[in-house]
Amino acid sequence: MINKKTKICVIDYGFGNIASIENALNYLKFDHSSLKTPNGLGNFSHLILPGVGSFEAGISKLKKLGWELKIKDFIKNGGYLFGICLGMQLLFKYGTNEKTDQLIEGLGFFDGKCKKFFQNNQTNKLPLPHVGFNEVNHNNTKIWDGIKNPSYFYFIHSYKVSSSEDSHNYAKTTYGEEFISFIEKSKIFGSQFHPEKSHSVGLNLIQNFCNLQ
CA atoms of 165 and 123, how far apart (whole Å): 26
Catalytic residue among 9, 85, 114, 210: 85
Catalytic residue among 68, 157, 196, 210: 196
Whether 196 is a known active-site residue: answer: yes
127 φ, ψ (degrees, to nearest 5): -60, 145
* Cβ neighbours of residue 48 closer than 8 Å, sequence gap 6 or more: 8, 9, 10, 11, 21, 81, 82, 83, 84, 87
Residues forming beta bridges with residue 153, ordered by sequence position: 134
Whether 85 is a known active-site residue: answer: yes
Catalytic residue among 46, 138, 168, 194: 194
* Cβ neighbours of residue 178 closer than 8 Å, sequence gap 6 or more: 162, 172
Q: Hey, which residues are catalytic here?
A: 85, 194, 196
